[in-house]
Amino acid sequence: MGEGRPMLPPKLAALYGEMEEVRAETLSALSGLTEEEFSRRVGGEWSAAQILHHLLLGKPDSDAN
């Protein structure tokens, strides 16, 4: 069973692995930012905090239909 997770079908296991890689890369990229840098908006663009919030809590537009 490895790392305390139930066995997953191969395709789901691969997707899970990819999601964990993206999670680790995201945390690594954000870990060195100060609170001000994390919240800063430049040129009207979204801040890192806003983007992360959107990714974590946002719904795809296709769900609105």
Per-residue pLDDT, averaged over 1-12, amounts to 77
Kindly give, in sequence order, each residue whose CB lies less than 8 Å from that of residue 43, ignoring residues fewer than 6 positions away: none
What pLDDT shows up at residue 20? 95
Question: Cα–Cα distance between 54 and 48 in angstroms, integer?
Answer: 10
Per-residue pLDDT, averaged over 2-30, amounts to 89
What pLDDT shows up at residue 42? 94
Q: For the chain, what percent of residues have pLDDT higher than 90?
A: 71
Would you say residue 2 has pLDDT above 90? no
CA neighbor of 49 nearest in space, from 62, 33, 25, 28: 33
The pLDDT-based confidence of 39 (bands split at 50, 70, 90) is: very high
